[in-house]
Each structure stands twice: as structure tokens, then as C-alpha cells.
Amino acid sequence: MIVYAFGLAFLLATTSPSSAATPYGGMFGFFPLRPPCVALYQASGVLTQYGVGMKSGGVEIQIGDQRTYFYVSEVLRINGSRIRCAWPRVCSNWPSSLVVGKTKVTVTYWATTRYGKPVFVTDQIDYKK
């Protein structure tokens, strides 16, 4: 751990190369990797949101009149293919038949916590083409 001093304030930053392999999938963001032997669940609904930023990312599906949010893992697969995409409209590897707001998907997810609160995380989204 390295401490950088800026006046009276201190910024702590982890700079270990192994930090990229942490359960959160990176030094500064929340992109959890699937833990071994974790209980997996599935939910199906219309994909209503998708977006990934530098600190975290997520998808939202709508089941009836209820929306459920899932954080995304560092390793996200859609129909088995690895996706590295911040926003579907600008990604070359986003499946053209997967339309936000229209396509019904099945999200495989697990439960974990963020800031002490329960959240869901996914690394797998499947849909029928």
C-alpha cells in the first residue's frame, strides 16, 4: 500500500499487481468475479438497461411490473461469448439481435454485498436469437 499526501489529506491506493485478481475484479471498481461454489439463480425478463462505467456496471430486467438490477462481473458472457462493452450502441461485439427495451433475456446471477447491502451480480446473460 502506498500513501500519497496532498496537504493534510491522504489518499490510500493499492498498487499491487495482484489486485486485479481480487474478488472485485480490479483495483478501483466493483466488478465481482463469480466465487467458486456460490449458489446461482436465474431470472428472466425484458432487458431494460445495460451500461458499464469505470467504477461499476449493470443490467436491469423487467419482470411484469417489477424491475431488478444486477451488477456485472468483470467477465460477462452473452450467449457464451465474452462481451466487453460499455454501451450497446457503440460496441462492435454487442449482439445485433439483443435489443435493450425489447429482448427477453435470462440472467444467471448470485447474491453478494456492496457497502454492506445485499446486491445481485451477473456474469451470464442468455437469450433466444
List of domains in the chain: 29-127 (2.40.50.140)
- Residues 19, 31 contacting (CB under 8 angstroms): no
Choose among 85, 86, 70: nearest CA to 123. Answer: 70
Separation of CA 124 from chain center: 10
Residue with cell 443490467: 59
As a whole number of angstroms, the distance between CA 111 and CA 35 comes to 10
What's the pLDDT score for residue 10?
A: 30
Which is higher by pLDDT, 88 or 10? 88
pLDDT > 70: percent of the chain: 78
Can you give the pTM of this predicted structure? 0.78
The tens digit of pLDDT for each residue in 70-87 reads: 999 999 999 999 998 999
